[in-house]
């Protein structure tokens, strides 16, 4: 069995990290995966152990006791929120509030699986390219004010025309209204858009809200925060790192938790299958970078392993045609092939894809990489 630990905005405490490590060690295969929605996954649970493992996570505040309500907590936000000097709006608290309202709101019992909300604050570690049922992103108007671009059933950067913008204060009610509509119809937002029409659906979800139309912001390349990234405070930095293919161990997680405590930082998972330590004192930077590298979390922006991601493949999925992990390692060993981010998928579902270039395994389990 697979157990997903949903972390709105990727936020988790050192105690939460240790709780995940314990569940993976006691009940799972010992592997913990960081996902493209900044969540954590524990694989290899026996069905008879699921109840005890879930109770452990619930007891540590990492999950809702009702699995259906817990599934509504998929809210993705920028991992540097509140610690990014370039952001237009600090949406960290908003991400938490939206997830809380999604759990508590009535009328969401039929919400389709994998319903996802993305909220971007307009900073360097942008999540504007993350696919979502409801995507919202802070943008600046020509007058200098901050409003929120609203997209339905597609990433924020998929719109290259006029974009609908709403006030920041209307984000929560619009998200709940959109979720309720999907729950009532039993469809994902992209399906509703195709069936009903984008303009009509947008109008029905924003009744009574002053919509402002603006030109779509220029898409920006969303680089994973790896290594030292500027902090809002000059005496601090944010440190990003990621393990190979987003897979780590309980022992490594415990070391990360201890490092977070020693540096008096905060930690978030990222949609690039990594983590970021927020607010590390510059005096501790070198020590923290070395500690992350020792436990398999590469903090080197030039490390090519950060360019490759993959679904679990034959290791844990009956639909896969390929050993994606083995293929990814072979790709890393081939000099000169990697020129940008690439995701290897064992079947057409393309699970976990968060790169512009996705290669699906052929029937014989091989990957035709070719020219980028």
What integer best gives the mean pLDDT of the chain?
A: 94
Quote the pLDDT of residue 316: 83
* DSSP string over 107-131: T-TTPPTT--EEEE-SSSS--TTS-
How far apart are alpha carbons 306 and 326 in whole angstroms?
16
How far apart are alpha carbons 174 and 290 in whole angstroms?
44
- pLDDT reading at 108 higher than 90: yes
Q: Give, in order, the Cα–Cα distances in Å from 229 to each of 251, 273, 340.
A: 26, 17, 20
* Residue 65: CA count within 13 A, CB half-sphere: 2
364-366-367 Cα angle (round to 5):
140
Quote the pLDDT of residue 372: 57
Quote the pLDDT of residue 222: 65
Query: Hey, what CATH topology would domain 81-215 get?
Result: Sulfite Reductase Hemoprotein; domain 1 (3.30.413)
* DSSP string over 300-350: -TT-GGGGEEE--GGGT-TT--S-HHHHHHHHHTSTT--SS-EEEESSTT-
Quote the pLDDT of residue 259: 98
* Residue 53: CA count within 13 A, CB half-sphere: 26
Quote the pLDDT of residue 215: 84
Quick check: do 2-67 and 81-215 share a fold?
Answer: no
Nearest to 217 by CA among 283, 137, 286: 137
Per-residue burial over 158-167, b if 16 or more Cβ lie within 10 Å, else e, is ebeeebbbbe
SS3 content of the chain, % helix, strand, coil (to 5): 35, 20, 45
Tens digits of residue pLDDT in 268-301? 999 999 999 999 999 999 999 999 999 999 999 9
DSSP H helical segments within 36-135, as ranges?
50-59, 67-70, 92-104
How far apart are alpha carbons 32 and 179 in whole angstroms?
29
Model pTM? 0.94
Give the other-Cβ count within 10 Å of 356's Cβ: 12
Bridge partners for 209 per DSSP: none
- pLDDT reading at 48 higher than 80: yes
Contact in structure between 164 and 211 (CB atoms under 8 Å): yes
| Percentage of the residues of the chain whose pLDDT score is greater than 70 | 99
Contact in structure between 229 and 238 (CB atoms under 8 Å): yes
Contact in structure between 189 and 152 (CB atoms under 8 Å): yes
Q: What does the domain layout of the chain look like in residue ranges?
A: 2-67, 81-215, 227-298, 306-360
**CATH second-level architecture of 2-67?**
2-Layer Sandwich (3.30)
- pLDDT reading at 135 higher than 90: yes
- pLDDT reading at 148 higher than 60: yes
Quote the pLDDT of residue 221: 63
Query: Hey, what CATH topology would domain 227-298 get?
Result: Sulfite Reductase Hemoprotein; domain 2 (3.90.480)
How far apart are alpha carbons 188 and 115 in whole angstroms?
7
Confidence category of residue 220, pLDDT binned at 50, 70, 90 = low
- pLDDT reading at 132 higher than 60: yes
Confidence category of residue 371, pLDDT binned at 50, 70, 90 = low
């Amino acid at each position: 069995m697979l157990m997903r630990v949903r972390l709105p905005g990727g936020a988790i405490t050192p105690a939460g990290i240790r709780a995940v490590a314990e569940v993976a060690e006691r009940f799972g295969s010992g592997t913990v995966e960081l996902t493209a929605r900044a969540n954590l996954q524990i694989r290899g649970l026996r069905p008879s152990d699921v109840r005890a493992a879930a109770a452990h996570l619930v007891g540590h505040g990492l999950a809702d006791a009702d699995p259906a309500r817990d599934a509504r907590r998929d809210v993705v936000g920028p991992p540097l929120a509140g610690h990014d000097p370039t952001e237009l709006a600090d949406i960290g608290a908003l991400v938490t509030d939206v997830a809380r309202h999604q759990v508590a709101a009535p009328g969401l019992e039929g919400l389709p699986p994998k319903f996802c909300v993305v909220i971007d604050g307009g900073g360097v570690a942008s999540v504007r390219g993350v696919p979502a049922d409801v995507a919202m992103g802070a943008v600046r108007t020509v007058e200098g004010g901050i409003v929120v671009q609203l997209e339905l059933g597609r990433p924020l950067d998929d719109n290259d025309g006029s974009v609908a913008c709403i006030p920041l204060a209307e984000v929560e009610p619009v998200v709940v209204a959109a979720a309720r509509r999907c729950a009532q119809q039993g469809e994902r937002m992209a399906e509703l858009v195709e069936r009903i029409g984008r303009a009509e659906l947008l109008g029905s979800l924003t009744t009574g809200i002053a919509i402002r139309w603006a030109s779509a912001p220029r898409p920006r390349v969303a680089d994973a925060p790896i290594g030292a990234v500027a902090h809002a405070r000059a005496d601090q930095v944010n440190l990003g790192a990621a393990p190979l293919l987003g897979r780590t161990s309980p022992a490594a997680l415990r070391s990360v938790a201890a490092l977070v405590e020693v540096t008096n930082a905060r930690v978030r998972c990222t949609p690039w299958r990594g983590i970021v330590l927020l607010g590390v004192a510059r005096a501790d930077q070198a020590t923290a970078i070395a500690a992350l590298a020792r436990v398999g979390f590469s903090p080197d922006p030039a490390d090519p392993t950060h360019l490759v991601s993959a679904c679990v493949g034959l290791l844990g999925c009956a639909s896969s045609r390929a050993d994606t992990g083995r293929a990814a390692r072979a790709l890393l060993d081939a000099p000169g092939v990697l020129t940008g981010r690439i995701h290897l998928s064992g079947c057409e579902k393309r699970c976990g894809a968060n790169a512009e270039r996705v290669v699906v395994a052929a029937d014989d389990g091989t990957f035709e990489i070719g020219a980028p």
